[in-house]
Every structure is written in C-alpha cells, then in structure tokens.
Amino acid sequence: MQLIVVTRTSGLLASIFSLSLSIPLLVGLWYGEDVSSNFALPMAVTLILGILLWFPGRRNSLRISRRDGFLIVAMFWGLLSLMGAWPLFMALNISPLEALFESASAITTTGATILTGLDALPRSVLFFRQELQWMGGMGLIVLGIAVLPMLGIGGMQLYRAEAPGPMKEEKMTPRLASTARALWLIYLSLTAACAFAYWLFGMEPFDAIAHSLSTVSTGGFSTHDDSLSWFHSSQIEGVAILFMLLASLNFGVHYYAIYRRKPLHYWEDIEARSFLILVLVIVVVVGLMLRLEGSYHTLPPSLRDASFEVVSVITSTGFATVDFSHWPDFLPVLLIFVSFIGGCGGSTAGGMKVLR
C-alpha cells in the first residue's frame, strides 16, 4: 500500500466535495437564511483539510494500485459521510449520530431519514440533502477520475473499486478520464431534463431542481414529508417514473444510444430489455390484483399506483404516493422481493442488479 498516494487522492476528492458546499450556501443566501456557520465554516475547513492531505504528495508520480483504489474508496465514503454530517449537525437540532445517519443515508442513496417536519426546514438544508444524494448517485469519485489524470494520477483502479455492477472492465471511450466526463455529462443532462419536466408540470423551481437530484440519483429524499404525493399530480408521477427508469439503466447503454446515435440499443441490450419487461410484468400483475381485490373501483387508478410504487421500489428510489403495506394478499411481500433485484449494472439504482 502506498500511503502517500492514498492521502494525496483523498485530499483531492475532499477538496472537490468542499466546493460543492458553496451551492447550498448560495441557496441559503438567496432565500435570506443565515448559513454562514452552517456551510461556510465546514466548506473552509474541508478545503483546508483536503489541501493538507494533497500537498505532501503533489509531486509524487506513483500510480494507484488496485489495493490503493479499494482503500481510497472505503476511506472516502466514510470521510464523505462525516463531512456531510457536519452542516446537518450545525443547522439542525439533532445529535451528531443522527446527523451522521442522515448524511450516510443520503450519500449512499439509501433514502432512510430521521428527520420530520421537512416542509418547515431551511431550504439550504433541504437542498443540501438532495445534493448529497445526487453526488452519491453517480459517485463523487467518478468525478474525481475525470480530474485525476490532469494531476498525474491514474484512476483506473479507483474506477474498478467504485464502479457499480459487474461491468468494471468496460470503458466506453479509450481514455478513462473521457469515460468519466461522458458519464457525468449524461448524468447532468438527465438531471436538467428531469428538473425542467417537473417544473413544466407544476413544481416550483426549487422543488423541481431538488426532486430532480434525488430522482436521477434514485435516492428518494423529498422536500416534503408526504413525498411526491404532496403534489397530487399524475403528470409529476409520470415524470418521476420515466426518470427513475432512465437512471436505472446502465449508463453505458445511454452512452451508446446518445453519443453513437443508436437509440435501438436500449432494446438490443439484454439487461436493459429484461429490466423493462420485468417492470412491465410486475406492474400489470400488481395493477390487476388491486383491481380484482376491490381496492380500486376501476383499472386506471390501480395501474397508476401500481406503476409508481413498482418503479420506485425496484429502482431503490423510495418515493411514495400510497402506503403499499396495506395492499391485499402477497403484494407487499412481492414488492419487497422486487427491491432485492434492483436496476441494471452501471446505473444509480441499488439492489443485486438485473444482470446478476
């Protein structure tokens, strides 16, 4: 293990994370909130810490080994959770352990939360929670990979340690940095399109941007206690379904479909095709069961709720419009087992992955 390589790379990634704190800081200033101590101080300290870790090994030309890559990833997710917990602890009346839980849940896009009364929380804090999920969805380390080669640091071992799913050896472009930039451009484009669609169908700009961050990351945090059911809109639910599905497809498939202009690749890819067919079959089964068991008087409402809940569960997003635990027969158990499957490899979704 090359300790100097590990500390140098961790310092660089910590510095990148510190800069991300400037966004909720600006959000708080825009809405007239006092956020100087909540975000400015953690941002400054994290940036200084990152520079101190990076500076001693700045001239070192050693490459990252596979063992170093795994250690950096393991260390950094723990460090990232701690750094993310600090602003939450400063801004909210919660314990350090609760702040760490909320931060780790956001960064890992788990979506579990200990917070209530979200509608009354400062908007800077609400945005920060969503931003943590967005960074964790694609992986801040993948962003770092795009920067590492510029500083003389090889990133292939980081990529192998960080990349989700069973397709770690695949590179969509000859250079790894180009691969990372392509991934983030697709990720950013999906997020922008999702935010625009949410806004188009009635969300205010803040909610649209915030929910797009947790939709494309399949994290599931919301700015309201009632999640997406707060909006009472079938159009908004439709937007969420579409982008949860897109985020749960392998981003390599997105690359081939977009950059190489092969839209049929979505259907030609066996994992993507299997995933979409699986979702469709489960939606039909759940929708028909809800209708036949008398929970719904007509088929369209049952299919609407079935579509949203099935997609939210299988993509590990966790948005909710109804409480499916009260659904009849085996349906709640079916959804729990569906959640084990998850989305496609190389996506932001959780689970074991469809390919496995």
- The mean predicted confidence, pLDDT, of the chain is 85
Q: Is 46 helix (H, G, I), strand (E, B) or coil?
A: helix
Query: So what's the pLDDT on residue 155?
Result: 47
Domain boundaries defined on the chain: 3-162, 183-356
Query: So what's the pLDDT on residue 166?
Result: 43
Greater confidence, 242 or 144?
A: 242
Give the mean pLDDT of 17-33: 91
Predicted TM-score (pTM) of this structure: 0.86
pLDDT digit string (tens) for 234-257?
A: 999 999 999 999 999 988 888 888
Report whether 68 contacts 60 (CB < 8 A). no
Residues in Cβ contact with 323 at an 8 Å cutoff, skipping those fewer than 6 apart: none
Tokens of 301: 């409402």
For residues 298 and 311, what is the distance between their CA atoms, to the nearest angstrom? Answer: 21
Query: So what's the pLDDT on residue 313?
Result: 95
Residue 150 has pLDDT above 50, yes or no: no
Which long-range contacts (C-beta less than 8 Å, at least 24 apart) are formed by 258-265? 258/186, 259/172, 259/182
Cα–Cα separations (whole angstroms), residue 254 to 64, 184, 294, 318: 29, 12, 40, 23
Cα–Cα separations (whole angstroms), residue 95 to 90, 98, 112, 285, 339: 10, 5, 16, 44, 31
Backbone angles phi, psi at 4, to 5 degrees: -65, -35
Query: So what's the pLDDT on residue 63?
Result: 66
pLDDT digit string (tens) for 258-304?
A: 888 888 888 888 999 999 999 999 999 999 999 988 778 899 999 99
